[in-house]
């Protein structure tokens, strides 16, 4: 039984370990790049999925129209009541 390794076996084993370490390093770099891009991807996904906090133009226009209609109706009611009391 042999308790030692030859120089050639050592070099071969060292090459294998270094190759595996490089592979692991590359995978870590890929993961790091993916994590760094993650906030941008989340932001893009959220923008596609949800309406922004700014008012959506058609909704804003409908809201203004409804408020204007209620105000005009209230003013019309006041004018009607004033006219009715004058007669």
Q: Contact 5/13 with Cβ under 8 angstroms?
A: yes
Per-residue pLDDT reduced to its tens digit, 50-84: 665 666 778 888 999 999 999 999 999 999 888 88
What is the structure's pLDDT at 21?
94
Beta strands in the chain (DSSP E): none
| pTM of the full structure | 0.45
Task: Reply yes or no on whether the pLDDT at 1 is more than 60.
Answer: no
Write down the pLDDT at residue 28: 94
Rounded to an integer, the average pLDDT of 3-31 is 91
């Amino acid at each position: 039984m042999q308790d030692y390794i030859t120089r050639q076996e050592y070099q071969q084993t060292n090459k294998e370990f270094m190759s595996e370490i490089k592979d692991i390093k590359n995978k870590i770099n890929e993961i790091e790049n993916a994590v760094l891009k993650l906030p941008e991807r989340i932001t893009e996904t959220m923008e596609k999925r949800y309406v922004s906090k700014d008012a959506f133009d058609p909704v804003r226009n409908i809201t203004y129209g409804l408020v204007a209609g209620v105000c005009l109706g209230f003013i019309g009611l006041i004018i009607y009541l004033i006219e009715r009391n004058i007669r």
